[in-house]
Structure 1
């Protein structure tokens, strides 16, 4: 494909017209509270309407500093006594500044229904009110909570995957490293990384090629990080930039989902290569014609549903310890090691 999918191209044109007319204000020109409201409102337009599942619960998870963060548990059915469900711990995207349980509710529901598992979506605390490394620590404490209390909600701490999109993918990648290093945490069976940010500096060729005009703008990325980071020293911390980790040996097998026209695509490829060099099983699914956030664009393009179905297959395989199957939709698939 030589350009974005026609449906994606139409969306990008609409965004450009809105920006030029002044009816759409880029996030970096808004106060954080207004940016969050705009992000949530636009999410409703992009995503397909998804009815509630048979089992949904609001939870409050305790954090190390005494605070509590909201979380939502989605499952296709209530866990049966003695039969806890495998669980995907999910961190939403939004550059550590925007995004919410509400913006990612349809995605959580669709993943739970397709994979037949529980999805625990967590509202880690956002910047600038909560600077780095609060978001990472909230994700880490959420994983620890599953290990300590998950069984009380019918969650199987021996069958955990961790995942997220965009900044949530960053958190999931860092969490996989922390879970390897800290024996107090449950060990995930899979890390699902959807178009994650992974690099200390945004200077890869894809940032220059796709940093303007493809929804996620380079100016927006830097605005996010200005809100989140305490200073440039934080950029070299692997909890923010997992590519900075000295070693990835022994982390959970990875599924990396990337859109072709995304400033972050080179970071995803580089991380897949670093995982491979460390001996970690990794599968990379590259979706031609897609852009950042495409998994939440089910109301725009059918590829979003195809990709979610492919992800669900990998989750089921990880939870069962058995083989996965190739994606049904046209993607470039790169594998190393063996997820199968």
Structure 2
């Protein structure tokens, strides 16, 4: 028995050491672990409310948008009773998943509630993941989607693209937020070699659910945040393609706090204190305030029991219900006539 125990402990030590060595050589082991965690079906949380809501919502899945990159599809959520001549404001949403995982279907419950309550057309888009596509390819794909919509208005007769909002959760919030910053900051657009295509007066709102909006903070995480440091290292290595990602100018370039101007649209920002990006959200809100941009925030920062990343989709909790109610009210104001 003692011999077996020594063998078992020794084997585990070898495996742990081997894993550590492997992650020093390549991000692939970390990538596999992150994808295992994120690539799981997310169950509907508020089953009763969702069943009532989905009865009045039409979903068109896997619509293609023009892009040279893969995973160029989106799901479209609209009211079933939409009239032929009715014009709906549009919310373009990007899913989370640490840039390495996730899918547009993750927004199903959220999108259904938005359509039901506010009569907004919700586009939940896919984008190619890292490391298969490096930065800033995902931002380019947001641009590809927008160009597809405006190029063929006859296909989207119920869309009012003069009232458009962009939002996302986790990594999706950073990606789409960067696109919004490009549209509202001409110097940034030039730096990114992208044209400003969305007219400023049409860009009505931005929503960030637990988004990493000040990526520079990831370079100086406290030692005690071992898991977050591992996560940041793996993701950045995959996304940028550089093991020495902390020295890359991309980290500053992709930080929204560095590029917002007074033309950035009204924003709703939320985050929590459990394995998330709370300080980054707070820094972003502070920058918006300094730029006189209207902003509403919901931060769960001081709870004794941590509230964890992506809490906002757990609609069986009072915290998520509050976030949803505030989001709907925010959209009602920003997308109104």
TM-score scaled by length of structure 1: 0.74
CA contact (8 A) 2:252 2:258 kept: yes
Residue correspondence of structure 1 range 29-40 to structure 2 within 5 A: 32=31, 35-36=34-35, 38-40=37-39
The residue that corresponds to 2:321 in the other structure is 305
The residue that corresponds to 1:241 in the other structure is 255
CA contact (8 A) 1:92 1:100 kept: yes
Q: Relative to 1, partners in 2 of residues 1:204 and 1:261: Cα closer, same or farther, differing over 3 Å?
A: farther
CA contact (8 A) 2:271 2:298 kept: yes
Residue correspondence of structure 1 range 270-281 to structure 2 within 5 A: 270-281=283-294
The residue that corresponds to 1:258 in the other structure is 271
Q: CA deviation at 1:202?
A: 3.1
The alignment status of 1:202 with 2:217, answered yes or no, reads: yes
TM-score scaled by length of structure 2: 0.75
Q: Relative to 1, partners in 2 of residues 1:262 and 1:68: Cα closer, same or farther, differing over 3 Å?
A: closer
Measure, in 2, the Cα distance between the counterparts of 1:80 and 1:209: 56
The alignment status of 1:61 with 2:65, answered yes or no, reads: yes
3-state DSSP class of the match of 2:91?
strand
The residue that corresponds to 1:85 in the other structure is 88
Structure (1/2) with the larger helix percentage? 2
Measure, in 1, the Cα distance between the counterparts of 2:46 and 2:284: 31
The residue that corresponds to 1:95 in the other structure is 98
The residue that corresponds to 2:232 in the other structure is 221
Cα offsets for 1:17-54 (capped at 9, x unmatched) = xxxxxxxxxxx88575674454242623x744444453
The alignment status of 1:140 with 2:151, answered yes or no, reads: no
Is there any run of 5+ residues in structure 1 with no aligned partner, and where? 1-27, 322-340
Kindly indicate whether structure 1 or structure 2 has the higher relative contact order, using CA contacts under 8 Å at least 6 residues apart.
1
Q: Relative to 1, partners in 2 of residues 1:209 and 1:111: Cα closer, same or farther, differing over 3 Å?
A: farther
Q: Relative to 1, partners in 2 of residues 1:236 and 1:93: Cα closer, same or farther, differing over 3 Å?
A: same
Measure, in 2, the Cα distance between the counterparts of 1:133 and 1:197: 15
| Superposition CA RMSD, Å | 3.0
Residue correspondence of structure 1 range 312-331 to structure 2 within 5 A: 312-320=328-336
Q: CA deviation at 1:138?
A: 0.7
Q: CA deviation at 1:210?
A: 8.6
The residue that corresponds to 2:241 in the other structure is 230
The alignment status of 1:124 with 2:141, answered yes or no, reads: no
Whichever of the two has the greater Rg, that structure is 2
Q: Relative to 1, partners in 2 of residues 1:150 and 1:87: Cα closer, same or farther, differing over 3 Å?
A: farther
Q: Relative to 1, partners in 2 of residues 1:158 and 1:210: Cα closer, same or farther, differing over 3 Å?
A: farther
3-state DSSP class of the match of 1:43?
coil
Measure, in 2, the Cα distance between the counterparts of 1:116 and 1:305: 19
The alignment status of 1:173 with 2:207, answered yes or no, reads: no
Q: CA deviation at 1:150?
A: 5.2
Q: CA deviation at 1:219?
A: 1.8
**Larger displacement relative to structure 2 (136-145 or 163-172):** 136-145
Measure, in 1, the Cα distance between the counterparts of 2:163 and 2:113: 19
Is there any run of 5+ residues in structure 2 with no aligned partner, and where? 1-26, 187-194
CA contact (8 A) 1:43 1:296 kept: no
Measure, in 2, the Cα distance between the counterparts of 1:313 and 1:41: 30
Aligned residues: 287
The residue that corresponds to 1:192 in the other structure is 207
| Match among 309, 313, 316 for residue 292 of structure 1 | 309
Q: CA deviation at 1:294?
A: 0.2
Q: CA deviation at 1:132?
A: 0.7
